[in-house]
Every structure is written in structure tokens, then in C-alpha cells.
Chains A and B, each alone.
Chain A
Amino acid sequence: MSSILECKALQKRYGLKDALCGINLSLEPGRIIGLLGPNGSGKTTLIKLACGLLTPTGGEILIDGQKPSKETKAIVSYLPERMALPTWMTAKQAMDYYQDFYSDFRRDTAEDMLARLGLDERQTIRSMSKGMREKLQLILVMSRAAKLYLLDEPIGGVDPATRDYILKTIIGNYNEDAAVVISTHLIADVEQVLDEVVFLRQGNVVLHRSVDDIREAEGKSVDELFRQVFAY
């Protein structure tokens, strides 16, 4: 099976500091992958490189065999770690925006999820609570039938109930032929939904294995293995 995301000696440097140190990585479709590591390990940098928001210092990153471009952006659904929707927009205008630019946007799915949340489509994003804004952004991202979902810290900074909602939304709505990459350091919360994990430490891939393999071979949960690998 061909890789949906491939990194070849990928390097990114900010000034004198290496954020990614020539990593090699290959992710296949149909899997939910946890991109795990402590703060500053290079998770967000890797995702931004895949989205074309940063350019590599060395090596290359390929999405479905192509360098990040207009074409790859059409098949990648990206959830940034911050609120990217203009706050003056209403939920309806935000859906219009997605529908206009992404041919794979499933409007019915988005409307259905918003209705279940009890969110008024005419409400501006500015007037929503922080949790509601994050849910709206996630709904828009997961309502696309993309080939690759890149979710940067989707459960960071939200309450446990919202965390459950977010994970259910991800599991219930992603395109099953696609790969879902979830970047987080909250391992215990996401472990249940992951097929495989990538551990990043100081810009290096220190482990890339399936979750079942970790449980069988190590006799540990991903959270336990993470604590062992990243112990100070």
C-alpha cells in the first residue's frame, strides 16, 4: 500500500535549533496514528510541514506522493491547535466557506452534528464559548471526506466531557480509507482510538509501532510505554 504521508530525511531548523532532525517516516491510509511526544518534540512542526505552512530545511515530505501544494491541500483536512476561523463569521458562514473551497465537504454531516450540539447556525463564532468554538472547528474538519486528517492537539485544554465528544466525533466521522494523525501529549485519553503510535523526542522518531504490537510484545499500555520512554 502506498504511503499517504512520507518523510525522507526531513529536517526543519529554527535559527540554530533543530526542530526535526532528518526524520524518516511512512504512514499508510486506513489507520489512526498518534503522534506523541512532550512539548517541543516537533509534533506541530511536522504537521505544519505536511500542510505547507512551513518549508523544510532539508529532506522532503510527501503527501500521497506529492510535495505540499494546492493539490495536496485539497486532500488534507487540518485542525490547527488554535482557532483559525474568523470570529466575525457565523457557524453558517463558516460552513459556506468550507463548502466553497473543499469539494469533499459533507454539508449534511456538519449540519447534523451542529444540530445535535444545539448550536444555532446564525450565532457568530465570537459569541461562542471556547469549547463550542473548538467543537465547531473540529466538526468542519471532520465533515470533509479527506484522505489525510491532521489534528494538532485536538483535546488539549478542554474539559473531559468535551474531550470525549471530540474523540467520538473523530471516530464517528472520519473517512475510513483515510489516515488520521492525532498529535497530543495526553496519551491516556487517545490511546483507546489509536491503531499505531509515533513517538517523537527532540525532533527524532524514537518509536513507530502498532498499538496491538506494543500491548502484546511489551505487555504495556501506550501510556505506560510513553512514560518509560520519556522518563527523566
Chain B
Amino acid sequence: MFGKLLKHEFRATGRIAAPLCGMMLALAVLAGMVLRFWGDLPSEGFSTAGNAIIILYGMSVFAVAIGIFIILMQRYKQNLFSDEGYLTRTLPVSVHELLLSKLFVAVIWYLVTCVLMALSVIIAGGLSGEASWSGVKELFDTLRFYVAHISAADVVYVMLSTLGGMLFITLLFYAVATIAQNFNKHRLLYYFMVILIFIALTRLLAVFNLIFTVRFAGPASGSVGVIGGADGPTAIYVTGSHVWLGLIELYLGNALLYVLTWAFLKFRPNLE
């Protein structure tokens, strides 16, 4: 059943998300072509249209980044709490299957979107000509430089924190929407109240982390460094055991949000 849920989840989200991504890639091609022939554009009208295409491409990247998130959150709410919920929540599947399928599809879409956004930049840059290609090559050289200076543990940390962050933002919305659903009146008000409570909790956690790091972990547990020099790229990095504490907290927070959402869906379905 989990596979079938995934199939229908991809179908429902893909029908909006796929054209949005396709539009961004198409605009990347057009923007690349405009940049390539910028000096040879025959009239001012063409220049204006070219400008518009480049601006539209920039906006489409932004629209995809925001749009995917909105599509996924809207899907969650509509699929479980609107009229569609009468169908979804009478399917012979467990709440875990329902929730995990949505979470899995959300993470896949975030990753696909990131890859496609990077691809669109490469396409636009590639088509715009030799000068831009060298810019893209420079970008990869820079990335290689960074990669050469970081350890395997750092790569794992970055990957886990990226994944954890994606899960956190998604689960936060799921939990807020699910808890707020239990209030039959002034739902929007409770919606914002639940968000504020969660934000306050995360802030409190941040304060705790700061105190913990300063008081107990101390400077010996981690270090701050600089990559590169006068001729190369420069970055500041923070490593050490205390950064892993934040990661553990992030995943504990995710687990808590998941359990909350699951419990409310399971024990307080409330489709009145």
C-alpha cells in the first residue's frame, strides 16, 4: 500500500510541480540564448523582450523554490482535512503509511527542485557563451576546492543537516496544520498560535544550545577556521562535537513533530 500511496502522491503533486519546473528550465534556455545574442539583438524591442525573459527566468527560480513548498503543504492540508479527506482517511492504510508517504514525496521534491535549479543555472550559463562557460567552470573549481578541504565527517554533517532541515520545515507545517484542525472555531487563529508556540520552543532550544556550548563544551570541543587565502576562495567554518549536538536536537525535534502529527491524526481524526 505504501508504494501505491507514493504513486498517487507523486501524481497529485507532479501535475503542478512538473510544469513549474519545466517552465523554469524552458526560461533558462531562453535566457541563455538571449545572453548569447545580446550584442546582436536587432532592435530595442528585442532588447526589452530579452530583458523580460531574463527577469522572468530569475522569477521562475524563485517561484519554483517557494512554489514547491506551497504545493506540498497545500496538498497535505487539502488531502487530509478538506472534502478529499473523506476519501483519503477511509483508505485501508495506516496513519504511518499516510504520513510517511507524504514526507517521502516532499523530500524527493525538495531534492529534485534543488538539482533542477542548479541545472537551470548551468543551462543558462552554458548557452550564453564561452565567457559564461568559464564562469560555470570557475564555480565547479571553487566547489572542488571546498570539497578538498572538508572531511568526510563534514560532508555527512552537511547532508544530514540539510535532510534534517527539510524534514523539520515539512513536519513543522504538518504538526501545526494537524493540531489546529482540532479547533472547530477560529482555526486560523489557533493555527498561528501553534506556529508561535513552536517558534518559541525552537528559540528556547537555541538559547540552551548556546549556554551548553559556552558552559560545558567550551572552545576545546570545536574550532573555527578559515579556508583559502589571498588568492583563493575564503570561507569560515565551524567544526567540533558541539555542532553534532544541534544535529541530534534537530532529529529529536523531527521525531517529536512526527509523533505529535501521527498521534493527532490517529487519535483525534476530527473530520467534522
Contacts and interface: CB of A to CB of B under 8 A. Distances in A.
Contacts of B91: 73, 101
Contacts of A55: 267-269
Interface in B148-191: 184
A97 B8 contact: yes
Interface size class of B (residues with CB under 8 A): 20 to 34
Given A48-B271, A73-B90, A100 B83 contact: no
Contacts of B86: 53, 78, 80, 82, 84
Contact of A70 (B4, B87, B92): B92
Contact of B8 (A48, A54, A73, A100): A100
Contacts of B267: 55
A207 interface: no
A100 B193 CA distance: 39
B138 interface: no
B89 A52 contact: yes
A86 interface: yes
B90 A70 contact: no
B101 to A, nearest CB: 12
Interface in A80-110: 80, 82-86, 88, 93, 97, 100-102
Contact of B93 (A14, A83, A101): A101
B84 interface: yes
A88 B15 contact: yes
Contact of A73 (B4, B11, B92, B271): B92
B89 A101 contact: no
Contacts of B93: 70, 73, 101
A73 B88 CA distance: 11
B7 interface: yes
A97 B87 CA distance: 10
A51 interface: yes
B143 interface: no
A78 B85 CA distance: 12
Nearest to A73: B92
B94 interface: yes
B90 A76 contact: yes
A76 B269 CA distance: 18
A71 B268 CA distance: 18
Interface in A48-87: 48, 51-55, 70-71, 73-74, 76, 78, 80, 82-86
Contacts of A84: 83-87
A101 B90 CA distance: 10
B272 interface: yes
Given A73-B90, A73-B92, 7 more contacts: A15-B184, A55-B269, A70-B93, A78-B90, A97-B8, A100-B4, A101-B1
- Closest 4 interchain pairs by CB? A74-B92, A84-B86, A84-B87, A80-B86
Interface of B: 1, 4, 7-8, 11-12, 15, 83-87, 89-94, 184, 267-272
